[in-house]
Structure 1
Amino acid sequence: MLRSMYAGISGMKGFQTKLDVVGNNIANVNTSGYKKARVSFQDMMSQTLSGAEGPTNTRGGVNPQQVGLGSQLGSIDNIHTQGNRQTTNRILDLALEGDGMFVLGKDLSYNAGNRASSGVDMQDTPLSFTRAGNFYLDDEGYVVNPDGLYLLGNVNPDGSKVDDYLGKIQIPQDAASFSIQGDGLVTYVNGSGNVQSAGQILLAKFSNPGGLQKTGSNLYQITNNAGVFTDDGNFDTIDDLVIPEENGSATIVSGALEMSNVDLAEEFTEMITAQRGFQANTRIITTSDEILQELVNLKR
């Protein structure tokens, strides 16, 4: 059979995947904190008809002659560029301006010293990371995301002051008001009118955020290729997280949300090119089929 037919099939498969990715980007155009994906292709192995030859005393060199066998999926990249900021004027809507992600977990209250002695690797801890900053208060005053995961930060067990303790951030139910500053410091006014600290939101910063794995619900999990910023590569202590506005980390903007970084104009353009590419590859198959039909009709 003709090589062009199988090359066309490989092209169709690739553009199908590209359309899947583009469709998912468009579906999440209004998803808070969503990071768009991009597809890249690679050529497949080429069949060598003749190899290269170097020049001699009587003639020049000859280049190799190869026939490509189609294309294949190269990568699906998550593009972690900054999304547009949408003002909501809601205190618990938090947008990140810069690098970093919110740290979420279940009912976790880790003492930094105990964790360091146990040598816990970040990949063994039930932590999730997100750029979506739409948070809420549960019935006990803890700051949670829409799925009920706690927003983790630097707090003291009794919530009286910021201390070296990673845990859940809680706003007392009798608090008259509360606020969140750009450096993540959460303060509230108690019943006596005094300002107290509920803790400080910390961020996780990665050298390769594209290496994070999406798990749904705007959440990411760490992988071996994410490149977490730690001294020894392990998530052992609270020191492995970063304070907002320090060391190049993001600033927290209260009363706003970071929206998706999807550009509809770009996505529709990519959709058109994927559609035309798919059509062109189907034409290759039909043309190859016509040639085969002519060969079959040679003997009548």
Structure 2
Amino acid sequence: MLRSMYSGISGLRNFQTKLDVLGNNIANVNTYGFKKGRTIFKDLISQTVAGASAPGDARGGVNPKQVGLGSQIAAIDTLHTGGSTQFTGNTLDLAVAGDGFFQVMQGNETMYTRAGNFYMDGTGAIVDGDGRYVQGELGKITIPTTASSMSVGQDGTVYYVDLPPGGADKIAAAELVFEPIETPFKKAEAALKVAEADLKKADADLKKADADLKKAQALVPADAAAVTAAQAVVATATTAKGTAATAVTTATGVLTPLRGPYNTAKNAYDKVMSDNTATLQEAGQIQMAKFSNPGGLEKTGGNLFRQTANSGEVVTGFALDQGFGKTESGFLEMSNVDLAEEFTEMIVAQRGFQANTRIITTSDEILQELVNLKR
């Protein structure tokens, strides 16, 4: 009876462990890059009641007679099957379609993850949510904070659009030289345009006044008052046109000596600007890692894995290389937990746990009957 009770106890412990693993899977159903666990049982040592005997001439062989002593945990596997991808549209949200892990630095130790929700820190370096640097071939990858845009290719190459090195300083220096020359030239140019517009209007007004005067003079009988009024308008328009013409002459005199220095300075400024236009540049390439036995990696929390003695040696490379998957920008890999499967396994574990409790209670009832034999 005691053997059956202890067998039941071992079953209770094992199914409790399985429920713990299932609970952890369900708790992480929405954790990016999470890989679910699986509990495997195996039987304990069996007590041999009678050994096996070999067959002879007169009698056949006999199998051994053994009583099992319960079960134990054979393995708690981590299943590295791919999870579904979720579209986010964020450039630094990266998912690996295929094999491979991202590498991040935790102190001096390299850790591995499938969770690609990355960010830029204050210096422009690409980091994970806890500030660990994402590793490229030459270490951390930094994007200039002056970059106007960025993207990540399927091979993990990080691109950005920015001025060439030192371009901002060259442009600032050119603007410092050009602005004192440009400002008075633009001001004189604007004044000339206003004067020319005034002259054009004054000329139109004079033409209209002349036409009105001719109409007044052509009346029969002549209207002396109308002629006098038209002549006054013509005189005023003539004066206005003269004033406007003088203003044009004055503005032209101011603008003309400024034009040569302005053109020279503008040509120099335009050359600096053309030599320092924003272009597409590379910040680095995200390096990937893989293992011959990813199931041998140790979970350390925070969506991270650590290399162990049984995971095999790390093999580094890049997305789209032989044996590595591709990097998808704007997507995140979801957990590979299947809720329907987990709930089904939970029901099986619950019933297994319940059945093992029945073994204990039944054994207890039999022991009670044996004790009652004394009466």
Q: TM-score, normalised by structure 1?
A: 0.86
Residue number in structure 1 paired with 2:344: 269
User: Matches of 1:62 and 1:167 in 2, distance apart?
Assistant: 67
- Alpha carbons of structure 1 residues 106 and 284: separation in structure 2 relative to 1, 3 Å: closer
After TM superposition, give the deviation of residue 248 of structure 1 in Å: 1.7
Residue number in structure 2 paired with 1:203: 288
2:279 paired residue among 175, 194, 206: 194
After TM superposition, give the deviation of residue 229 of structure 1 in Å: 4.5
Mapped pair 1:225 → 2:299: no
User: Matches of 1:92 and 1:204 in 2, distance apart?
Assistant: 19
Residue number in structure 2 paired with 1:259: 334
Q: Considering fraction of residues, name the structure with more helix.
A: 2
Residue number in structure 1 paired with 2:120: 137
User: Matches of 1:4 and 1:100 in 2, distance apart?
Assistant: 47
Residue number in structure 1 paired with 2:242: none
Once the two structures are superposed, residues 43-75 of structure 1 have per-residue CA deviations (whole angstroms, 9 ceiling, x without a partner) of 000000000001111110100000000000110
- Unmatched segments (≥5 aa) in structure 1: 108-124, 155-165, 231-240
After TM superposition, give the deviation of residue 243 of structure 1 in Å: 1.2
What amino acid is the match of 2:26? I
What amino acid is the match of 1:79? L
What amino acid is the match of 2:57? N
User: Matches of 2:371 and 2:290 in 1, distance apart?
Assistant: 63
Residue number in structure 2 paired with 1:15: 15
* Structure 2 SS opposite 1:74: strand
Q: Considering fraction of residues, name the structure with more strand.
A: 1
Residue number in structure 2 paired with 1:150: 133
What amino acid is the match of 2:52? A
Once the two structures are superposed, residues 111-159 of structure 1 have per-residue CA deviations (whole angstroms, 9 ceiling, x without a partner) of xxxxxxxxxxxxxx511100000001100000000111000002xxxxx
Residue number in structure 1 paired with 2:110: 127
* Structure 1 SS opposite 2:20: helix
Matches within 5 A, 1:1-40: 1-40=1-40
- Unmatched segments (≥5 aa) in structure 2: 164-276
* Structure 2 SS opposite 1:242: strand
Which structure: larger Rg?
Answer: 2
What amino acid is the match of 1:245? L
- State the percentage of identical aligned residues: 62
What amino acid is the match of 1:126? E
Residue number in structure 2 paired with 1:45: 45
User: Matches of 1:34 and 1:61 in 2, distance apart?
Assistant: 53
Once the two structures are superposed, residues 81-118 of structure 1 have per-residue CA deviations (whole angstroms, 9 ceiling, x without a partner) of 000010101100000000000000147xxxxxxxxxxx
User: Matches of 2:55 and 2:41 in 1, distance apart?
Assistant: 34
* Structure 1 SS opposite 2:14: helix
After TM superposition, give the deviation of residue 2 of structure 1 in Å: 2.4
Residue number in structure 2 paired with 1:177: 149
* Structure 1 SS opposite 2:122: coil
Once the two structures are superposed, residues 14-60 of structure 1 have per-residue CA deviations (whole angstroms, 9 ceiling, x without a partner) of 00000000000000000000000000001000000000001111110
What amino acid is the match of 2:321? E
What amino acid is the match of 1:212? L
After TM superposition, give the deviation of residue 250 of structure 1 in Å: 1.3
Once the two structures are overlaid, the 10-residue window that deviates more, 173-182 or 187-196, is: 187-196
User: Matches of 2:136 and 2:348 in 1, distance apart?
Assistant: 45
Residue number in structure 1 paired with 2:218: none
* Structure 2 SS opposite 1:148: coil
Residue number in structure 2 paired with 1:78: 78
What amino acid is the match of 2:121? D
After TM superposition, give the deviation of residue 194 of structure 1 in Å: 0.8
CA RMSD of aligned residues (A): 1.0
- Alpha carbons of structure 1 residues 57 and 145: separation in structure 2 relative to 1, 3 Å: same
Larger RCO: Structure 1 or Structure 2 (Cα < 8 Å, ≥ 6 residues apart)? 2
What amino acid is the match of 1:23? G
* Structure 2 SS opposite 1:24: helix
What amino acid is the match of 2:82? Q
